Amino acid sequence: MQGRTFPDAGSALFDIINPVLDTNDNIILDLDGVDILPSMFLNPSIGRIIKERGRNSMSRFSFRNITRNQLAGLRTYVDKICS
């Protein structure tokens, strides 16, 4: 995702993971080297997945090399976007 703006990186991530959700595979997102997960990245990626496929789709995701801070922020984001 390097070299992209946050919104572009979010859209690119959506394009990668969305077709995988049509299969039986689960998804591991590796956040090694990632500092922040701002809304303009999350909205076109995770947020769009939730809007189109529902909150339960998140059960097929796991996150590798994530900080506790990022995990807390991500959980808050998902809770709020689903509220």
Interacting residues with another protein (CB under 8 A): 5-7, 10-11, 28, 31-32, 35-40, 42-44, 47, 58-59, 61-71, 73-78, 80-81, 83
* Per-residue exposure over 52-61, b if at least 16 CB sit within 10 Å of its own CB, e if not: eeeeebbebb
Token digits of residue 15: 């394009």
Strand partners, 28: 62
Nearer to another protein, 17 or 47 (CB): 47
* Minimum gap (Å) between residue 23 Cβ and another protein: 18
Distance of CA 73 to the CA centre of its chain: 12
* Minimum gap (Å) between residue 25 Cβ and another protein: 15
Nearer to another protein, 19 or 67 (CB): 67
